[in-house]
Copies of this chain bind each other. A is one copy, B any other.
Amino acid sequence: MSAAGKGKRRRGPRQDAVDTRGAILQAAGARFAERGYDGTRLRDVAADAGVDVALVSYFFGSKDGLFAAAMALTVNPAALVDELMQDGTAELGERLLRRFLGLWDGPAGSPFVALVRSAAGHEHAAALLRGFVERELLGRLAAAIDAPQPELRAALAGSQLVGVIMARYVVRVAPIATADAETLVRAIGPTLQRYLTGDLELAG
């Protein structure tokens, strides 16, 4: 936590805190990815990040807090939803899936796959993931939808997205795992579009 020489005047200690926090999060992401929720200890994360374990507690409080922060690091749902809604709801389903696959197919995706795996395999981590998905992703998506039952619509879209994650990245079922992204966008985009803006026959 000692202030580094350069940039010290403008935002020295604060920048140091940002760097330290980032280093801890990076180490945490790698540990959760490799060892799962149960197998990750705060002191190992601290050692990987080269800081005292007290600093991990200072920034994140607990392993729960660290896990939640590691999930939030890999995606920024607020920015994602804002970006998607800028262009309205036309072809929202295809745009959502294209953006989504772009993220997950890339190098940023693998830690998140590991976090999902960790959450699926552990009741407590699942509760943390549920809270994150409901509040940060589905809540924001629902708020941006102008149609009846927005929460159900967002959750239906979420269920299809989760299914793609499981099939493409976690369980890796062929041919979902091997299909090119645009094939999936054409096949699955209309599903998401209907869930978000179409007729769900809910009155039936």
Contacts and interface: CB of A to CB of B under 8 A. Distances in A.
A116 B171 CA distance: 10
A151 interface: yes
Interface stretch (A45-53, A75-83, A126-134): A126-134
A33 B164 CA distance: 24
Nearest to A138: B173
Interface residues of A, number: 48
A166 B166 contact: yes
**Closest 9 pairs between A and B when the two form their complex, measured CB to CB:** A121-B121, A163-B163, A120-B120, A159-B163, A159-B167, A186-B201, A162-B163, A187-B200, A155-B176
Main secondary structure on A side of the interface with B: helix
Contacts of A151: 174-175
A161 interface: yes
Contacts of A32: none
| Oligomeric state, in copies | 2
A138 B164 CA distance: 15
Interface of A: 36, 116-122, 126, 129-130, 133-134, 138, 151-152, 155-156, 158-164, 166-168, 170-176, 179, 183, 186-188, 190-191, 194-195, 200-202, 204
A174 B187 contact: no
Nearest to A200: B187
A129 B117 CA distance: 14
A173 B202 contact: no
Given A156-B188, A190-B194, A173 B120 contact: no
Contacts of A191: 160, 191, 194-195
A158 B167 contact: yes
Given A163-B160, A163-B166, A170-B120, A175 B202 contact: no
Contacts of A186: 200-202, 204
A120 B159 contact: no
A160 B159 CA distance: 7
